[in-house]
Amino acid sequence: MSISEKKLLRQSVLELRDAIPLEERLERSHCLTERLLETLEFQQAEYPMGYCSMGSEYETWGVLKNVLDRGKCLVLPRVHPQQKILELFRVTCLESGLKKGVWGIREPDPDICELVPLYQVDFVLMPGVAFDGQGYRLGYGGGFYDRLLASADPDLCKVAVAFREQRVNRVPREPHDIPLSQLITDDGQLVFHGT
């Protein structure tokens, strides 16, 4: 699939996601969060990595708050724009530990939060635009997560939570793409073995 085909797929799925009314999106996000919190992988994680949602994405705030409420170590990424990499930080307070970063996304404040090495992370909540039934995802085009996870333990649990509108038949794949361990959507949960 060419870059232009990827761009068209990304655009069409984003239009579907953007069309979900805000109130419905928040209600569905709450239900999806409940499903995620019930997974054994999330419950057993001590250093779960999340992300701060933006725009019409699945709302992650409930998950992030739950991680802190359970006394787990919340790890969040910060984009390093010059190096085009994600740096990982432990966030102990969502109100004071975050500030607006690249593209206006809330990120850990590096002056307050401590760096966390990737090997400590034992669960990753992955963002994305489109997802297929084989565990592949189409992101926003920056490749940040694929670069980060290229050096991770292959058994690291990588989960995406998304609306059913984001499910597609097939996501275009590149050799460097890192598949998911699980996908949770309104229509159910897919577990991908051997990923």
CATH number at residue 99: 3.40.50.10420
pTM of the model: 0.94
What average pLDDT does the segment 120-144 reach? Answer: 95
Secondary structure class of 167 (helix, strand, coil): strand
The confidence score (pLDDT) of residue 97 equals: 96
Higher pLDDT, 48 or 176: 48
The confidence score (pLDDT) of residue 80 equals: 87
Mean predicted lDDT score pLDDT of the chain:
94
Residue type, 63: V
In this predicted structure, which of 7-16, 55-64, 173-182 has the lowest mean pLDDT? Answer: 173-182
- Does 32 score more than 90 pLDDT? yes
The confidence score (pLDDT) of residue 175 equals: 84
Please tell me the distance from the alpha carbon of residue 35 to that of residue 161, in angstroms, as a whole number: 9
Secondary structure class of 49 (helix, strand, coil): strand
Cα dist from 43 to 63, 69, 133, whole Å: 12, 12, 24
- How many domains does the chain divide into? 1
What single DSSP character describes residue 2? -
What average pLDDT does the segment 52-56 reach? Answer: 96
What average pLDDT does the segment 13-29 reach? Answer: 98
pLDDT band at 2; cut points 50, 70, 90? low
Task: Give the range of the structural domain holding residue 18, as residue numbers without chain letter.
Answer: 3-191
Both tokens of residue 101?
């970063």
Q: Of all residues in the chain, what percent carry a pLDDT higher than 90?
A: 84
The confidence score (pLDDT) of residue 195 equals: 42
Please tell me the distance from the alpha carbon of residue 120 to that of residue 174, in angstroms, as a whole number: 27
